[in-house]
Amino acid sequence: MKLLNSSFTTRLLTAGWCVMLCALIALAQAPTGTISGTVIDASGAVIRDANVTVKNKATGAERKLSTDDAGNFAAPSLVAGEYEVSAQAKGFRTTLREFTVGTGSIVRAEMQMEVGQQNEIVTVAADGQAQINYESHSVDGVITRQKIQELPLNGRSFLNLAFLEPGVTVGIGSTSQYNALFSVSILGGSSARTAITIDGGNVRNSIEGGTGMNFSQEIVQEFQLSSTNFDLSTGITSTGSVNVVSRTGGNAFHGGAYFFFRDHNMAAYPALQRNPLAPDPFFARRNPGVTISGPIVKNRLFFFSNYEYTNQAGLVTFQPNLPSAAGLTGNFSNPYKGKQFSTRVDFKINDKHLAYARLSTDWNRGFGPNGGPVLPSNWLQNTNKAIQGLIGFTSTLKPTLVNDARFNYTYWRNRNLFPDSTVCPDCVGLNFPQLSVNGTNVTIGNTSNATQGRNLRRFTFTDNLTWIKGSHRFRFGTELEHAPGTGFWGFCDPFCTAGLSPEDTRRNGLAALFPTLPTVLRTGQDFLNLPFLGASVGIGDPSQPPPFNIDKAKQNNRMRFHAQDTWKVKSNFTLNYGLAWNFESTLVNKDLDKPAYLAPLYGSDLSATKNNYKNFSPSLGMAWNVGKDNKTVIRAGAGIYWDTEELFRRLQERAAIGPVGNGRLLIPHTSFTNIFSTSAQNLVLFIDPSNGRPTPLPNGAPLPASGIITSLTIAQFIQIYNAQIGAMRPTISSDLSVRNIQRSKTAAQLLPLNYPVQRSYQMNFGVQRDLGHDMVLTVDLVRRVFVNTLLGELDYNRFNRFVNVNGVPTQSPVIPRCTAAQSTVVTAQCSNGAITFWTPGGRQVYNGILTKLDKRFSKRYLFTASYALTKQHGNNGVVDLDDYFASYGPQGARHILNVSGLVDLPWGFSVGMISAMSSRGPLTPSISNVDLDGDGIATEPIPGVKFNCFNRGCGKSDLATAVANFNTQFAGKRDARGQAIPTLVLPANYEFGDSWFSSQDLRLTKTFKWGGDDRYKIAIFGEMFNVFNTANLGGYSFNLNNTATFGQPTSRSGQIFGSGGPRALQVGGRVSF
């Protein structure tokens, strides 16, 4: 296939704009709902030409309709909220009903009219039918404003409550990495691939996934979560979406102020054991805010505004799983400050045209770890400035033709910088290279994934056109997005290295090689005296994208089109069908072909990686209203859904195959040579794979491959680095005749010739049943099959592969290893290290029974119970480069149960409750620094058991048998690299993780009311998270090399955000009118 050149891209974009302008069609997950109904008389006969008025109760905006020959009417593109529907016909009384329209929902409105005079009004009480979707086959749910405001939430994020839907889990993010405090995984899918929109505007982080912006929960009217066979207007995702709708103003003024407070005096201790150095670590979060809304011009112009501030002095507890580092246990300050502002204006231009505009900002700053607990020298200083501006127009061109157009602009500026002495005084390892102790959780120095920065913009135009023709409701659409962005990524600055722990060094009989080996790890010098195991060195310009062709590389253009029909074949049977197509211009580096150097790995066709042009998404489904009581709906559907790709995956390749000096590369320590003489004082030894004996490493010889023990310490490698790095830094060129990879002889994160994006095949069959008493039961059988899931970045060069040659383990990469003389010769066909490629081709299968019992608010209470029984299998990374599917096995929790409820009690009291439970996931114990088969991966899953069978049928007796067999077969021998294989010893007591995650959160509110219609309110409340202080242990190591830490917890669930951490109490108050 020919490259997509700039002129072809221009033609595609031009064609897309023409289609949009001519057909007025566009795509984005619509943050609106529909009222669809029938007008009938007392006998059930349809009434044609009845006048129907749909009125928004808050703003007074009206939509006037007429029924067709079948008595049907529909009002699409309605903002979520409360509506009043009235029906009038000659010879009949006026019928009036109220409905609640949810985001993405289709509300069924059956208007039964009685014979009489039109000026006689019959008001029909609301019933539970509005909770059933009579026309859609999609599996989705809506979290309402009442739940968002009144349920207990630790962190008060707009994504917090997504887990109330069956099969959905919410993860805790970091205040110091990117800008996502929470992440949402839908039915076992990657949280990075969840689509996130606010009022239809995309706020997903296109580089790493997740959200790129935070919003106060105070601005959220409700949000829709789509999990299976989502509507084609959802946009580009194969896993699911979250679609948030912001609050609007109305004809009455409303406002208020609120304050939430938490501190350490109202919380359990955040670690497993009380640290005598910090017996009562300080923590406080102060979270005030204000809202105001109302009319600017009554019945025409309305506003809603919110400002919220968060000042948090948090803490992170670090407990090493290495005995020699026990003295580094501590609680460390983790500050975070955030400011969020949002204002929205809605304008009724006239009876046919509505408009709105919203501006939101998110400013925040934090200092902390970019993942799990580590020592503070490995933390990040993180700052974010994010803006979203959005305008929208809804036009009723005719009663049967409604158009909804939106323009979305987002900007995100992020900086991830290393700590300095102002935020991290006296930190062990401050300004060191990243130094990890192999097989443990102990890491110090500059974190590997920084420094980072980004300036990202997104310009998106979307438009939805709905055309009602007889029994059909056609919808057409497109999304046109232009997203430029630049930044920097200084990974492994100056390098990332690993050392062998004092325990493993002595256990393997190597202590004699290291006369300065420490007994305990307390100071930076102790770490520098550890045995050196290997390193990755970052060199070159960190600018992203790199300078070459930056005008093309810095932007991604997206197009998506769809057409679908909701066809009411009969009054009780609806058929949904449609087709979508999407394209993105810069998911791969289409402007860079591959150099001939890569032919042994890439193949003879050295053209650029192929783009994805055939991403068609068909969808088919049905909804059948069984019986005449309108209480049971059977639904089923199937569809194909394509995904996008996280854009960071193409960045390192631009450096590797770009001109010399273009961008930043990772080179292995094997690119460096020994600088020490062979005198007794400076002698460097390595364990010779041929005989297992210490052998002198000649001066000038390349350093041995990872996993081969030498007598080098980390301090000595720093000397080698300082002596040689200057000569490795190239000057910048724009000449493609010589590429960076020809100099470095190693590369990471290249893209293969064919790089299909992930897609999913989704099927569902389910039933919704109105049980009466305002309760609806929903049960769905769901199957999602993902193909071309990413296996990771795999070394096609097999640099660390060893084969047996005449009884001698011999390193055997595909491209032969460079000699010292060849390393700097650009024409030499040799390699200095791994050459990794992102590799699709994985598979994931999710089968689940999703159950939800939903009781809407009536008789002073509501509740929702959701349960998912799942069976998920997929690739769990790659553990064998000769068999990518050796790691295929179970994934995720088997059981996920969540229950939430609200109860209004007498005397102004109310109670909100959330109970969350999930079973533990599967796992496989492993042995580090051992390569039994020589494939090049030096971590082996324990042989003799199926992958990830523990917690899925295998138990402790199976592990004991596997360990005994391993010791009999391998212990004391040499692996494929000639390195000693240790004897494994299981501890007397261990666990395969905590048996269940469990947390119960409670909120008690007392509300005081006064004034006419109880207009003024003061609410005082207290929230308790993890009421029973369930341990929810974590931080387990399943590295069989380390007996002392195997199967032992080192932490509890986090306490700062989310649920499940040590018990904590939050108090607050709210004044409103």
Q: What is the mean pLDDT of the chain?
A: 91
pLDDT at 11: 43
490-546, pLDDT tens digit by residue?
999 999 999 999 999 998 889 999 999 999 999 999 999 999 999 999 999 999 999
pLDDT tier at 98 (50, 70, 90 boundaries)? confident
Judge whether 853 lies within some domain.
Answer: no
Domain of 65, in residue numbers: 31-126
817: Cβ contacts below 8 Å, ≥ 6 apart = 670, 702, 799, 811, 830, 831, 832
Per DSSP, what are the bridge partners of residue 396? Answer: 402
pLDDT at 277: 64
Is the pLDDT at 680 greater than 70, yes or no?
no
Judge whether 77 lies within some domain.
Answer: yes
Burial (0-12, 13-18, 19+ Cβ within 10 Å), 722:
exposed
pLDDT at 387: 98
pLDDT tier at 113 (50, 70, 90 boundaries)? confident
pLDDT at 27: 36
Contact 442, 390 (CB under 8 A): no
Burial (0-12, 13-18, 19+ Cβ within 10 Å), 276:
exposed
| Range scoring the smallest mean pLDDT among 41-50, 952-961, 991-1000 | 41-50
**How many whole angstroms separate alpha carbon 160 and alpha carbon 157?**
5
pLDDT tier at 648 (50, 70, 90 boundaries)? very high
The b-or-e profile of 1039-1049 (16+ CB within 10 A means b, else e) is bbbbbebbbbb
Judge whether 687 lies within some domain.
Answer: no
pLDDT at 157: 86
The answer to whether the bond into 704 is cis (omega within 30° of 0) is no
Burial (0-12, 13-18, 19+ Cβ within 10 Å), 859:
exposed
pLDDT at 127: 55
- Choose from 69-78, 128-137, 865-874 the range with maximum mean pLDDT: 865-874
What is the CATH number for 119? 2.60.40.1120
Q: Which of 159, 158, 217, 161 is nearest to 183 (CA)?
A: 159
Count of domains in the chain?
1
Amino acid at 1050: T
Instruction: Tokens for 948, please give them.
Output: 């990830």
Instruction: Tokens for 283, please give them.
Output: 């923590």
pLDDT at 495: 96
Judge whether 925 lies within some domain.
Answer: no
Is the pLDDT at 461 greater than 80, yes or no?
yes
342-397, pLDDT tens digit by residue?
999 999 999 899 999 999 999 999 999 988 889 999 999 999 999 999 999 999 99
782-808, pLDDT tens digit by residue?
999 999 999 999 999 999 999 999 889
Coil, strand or helix at 648: helix
Judge whether 78 lies within some domain.
Answer: yes
Judge whether 62 lies within some domain.
Answer: yes
329: Cβ contacts below 8 Å, ≥ 6 apart = 275, 318, 319, 320
Per DSSP, what are the bridge partners of residue 385? Answer: 363, 413
**How many whole angstroms separate alpha carbon 523 and alpha carbon 428?**
6
pLDDT at 26: 35
Strand order in the sheet with 241-246: 139-143, 220-228, 241-246, 195-198, 201-202
Judge whether 39 lies within some domain.
Answer: yes
- Provide mean pLDDT across the span 290-318: 94
Judge whether 799 lies within some domain.
Answer: no
pLDDT at 529: 97
pLDDT at 126: 58
pLDDT at 932: 95
- Provide mean pLDDT across the span 263-269: 91
Residue 314 phi, psi (nearest 5): -95, -170
**DSSP 8-state secondary structure symbol assigned to residue 906:** G
313: Cβ contacts below 8 Å, ≥ 6 apart = 282, 283, 284, 285, 333, 334, 335
pLDDT at 363: 97
